Structure 1
């Protein structure tokens, strides 16, 4: 993320005003301080103090930001992603709120986003992913629905071949939110809609560009194809748990959970690194584990899968342990009811 931020900053700040460059510097310093503190315990406190001061200035600029032209959109995306990055490294960060606010500013221009430079679209999708992951976990509705037709044959920097599935993830969030607020009379209609979403997810597949195999290494291809499978399996698993509570129809859920974990195992073995933006799918898969030894193995493996920051790993384990505790107490709850039983934190990247 840090390298990508630097690259995008250099590429798109040539014609921004002095004031915009200044506020981007605040964001860049905040991120650098958070990253340095995350990797160096000796300097963690001092780094975070610097980071919080600079982040406060950048957030203040974000709150008053107004879009007048395309260059403003580029600046806003850089600023938003930088602040989300900082927030995901600190204990009091609000990554989902920052992504939500940034996307709310961009939303009136949604129809123009697909024509922008690919690096800017990737940053936009990074914000969409951050917000959608949180909304899936809390059964809330994201700010924007991605047009899947405009994200086919595209390779995203963070989401690989998977960006078009975020339209279906939006629909799952919407259905989960409806179920969370539904009466007995309206729940049946939502369940019917959820069945159609399930069919759409089952039929979803990647559409790589024609030169895909020539542009990317074998390891990159394997990682992106696995990432797509992980998102698809996770979507089906969440749909299943919207339909059936934990403790019921567990066999199908376990099969999907095992499929997700197997994909992670394969990528870790071949690529020797985790799959970007898939913390929530791994969390959903781990919710299904009920055997103590398997849980211990899943937590141990988490250190290789949830690699974005120590804070991301802390929130992951906190959420996971609270759901396991609720299941161990015999509570049967649907996915849209997780908030009643879990200590939910932002799921990270």
Structure 2
């Protein structure tokens, strides 16, 4: 594998996405060099350092990231440079995700709030869609676990869209946003929740359970059968993970555990089958949020030990730092659950060590 292909593989679901992603990177570097330079250098440095399996990260890359953050904070975004700030924010969030995972969500939310995503030009250009979609997905997944409201509610324009990171799942994003809103209102015990619909939990649960991806007729001609299998698996496990979030919003540990266990088992089984198909048997899946939700529900000591021992696949090897923090948070939840408290998962996560889901 060429060095550039190896680098690109960390940020896509499969090799068929690499050419378009490489073009996106090259456009950003040529058109927005002055704005994105430090962020790109910091991110590239972190990637190569993480790939080498060395401990710690070079100070020079943290200094470059700091310069990039200053540019982002002081940015005066215009229609012309919207793409530049999207690229900068995504690059800086990725750097933080690789090196610590402590500020990636904050950077993601700031970038989304900075950009006027209602402008049609962002969505008309296929090259520009990937960056806001990635940021929206990152924000939405984090908000699901933190009972926060995402900055952007994604509006589906193309139900057949295939994205380098979230595959066929973009039409699920608005539903995930609504689950986040429900979680936020439930946490604050808002009277608005009851006014809108006393059955909102059940209505949303039915909507999630009935959601299916809509592959375009030419999907198999554009992507390998292996890539299509992975994208369909990603869609199924993400849908089940959102169902599991809804279930645990309604029921604390110790209540209606059977349904949670079934969803957990199905997610882990789907992930294992897909990993085996792509030649990464017994490895963690590419998309880790569903795996995290499923792992939290496991009660068998032997299976827990097996899950914690699972390593990242080659395509996600640069995410060892946030993955370790994710596993630490899972252990934290297990410890409190094992103490016998009928506690809300999301109350426990609020007390957990700082974590970020390594997408």
Both structures adopt the same fold (TM-score exceeding 0.5): yes
Aligned residues: 338
326-335 vs 163-172, which moves further: 326-335
> Considering only aligned residues, what root-mean-square deviation do their CA atoms show, in Å?
2.3
Q: How does 1:1-349 map to 2 (within 5 A)?
A: 2-3=7-8, 7-14=23-30, 16=31, 20-41=32-53, 44-45=55-56, 47-70=57-80, 72-91=81-100, 93-106=102-115, 108-112=116-120, 115-148=123-156, 150-182=157-189, 188=194, 192-273=199-280, 275-276=285-286, 278-301=287-310, 303-304=312-313, 307-349=317-359
Contact map agreement 2:168 2:232 (CA 8 A) in 1? yes
- Is there any run of 5+ residues in structure 2 with no aligned partner, and where? 1-5, 12-20
Q: TM-score, normalised by structure 1?
A: 0.90
SS in 2 for 1:207: coil
- Superposition deviation, residue 40 in structure 1: 2.9
- Superposition deviation, residue 200 in structure 1: 1.2
The higher-RCO structure (CA 8 Å, 6+ apart) is 2
SS in 1 for 2:43: helix
Superposed CA deviations along residues 79-107 of structure 1, whole A, max 9, x for unmatched, are 1111111001122641000110000012x
Contact map agreement 1:254 1:288 (CA 8 A) in 2? yes
- Superposition deviation, residue 275 in structure 1: 4.5
Tell me what 2:16 maps to.
none
- Is there any run of 5+ residues in structure 1 with no aligned partner, and where? none
Contact map agreement 1:26 1:55 (CA 8 A) in 2? yes
Contact map agreement 1:34 1:90 (CA 8 A) in 2? yes
Contact map agreement 2:147 2:346 (CA 8 A) in 1? yes
- Superposition deviation, residue 186 in structure 1: 6.1
Q: TM-score, normalised by structure 2?
A: 0.87
Separation in structure 1 between the aligned mates of residue 264 and residue 180 of structure 2, nearest angstrom:
19
190-199 vs 228-237, which moves further: 190-199
- Superposition deviation, residue 342 in structure 1: 2.6
- Superposition deviation, residue 119 in structure 1: 2.6
Separation in structure 1 between the aligned mates of residue 350 and residue 27 of structure 2, nearest angstrom:
45
Tell me what 2:14 maps to.
none
Comparing both structures, which one devotes a greater share of its residues to helix? 1
- Superposition deviation, residue 308 in structure 1: 4.7
111-120 vs 131-140, which moves further: 111-120
Contact map agreement 1:279 1:306 (CA 8 A) in 2? no
Contact map agreement 2:51 2:317 (CA 8 A) in 1? no
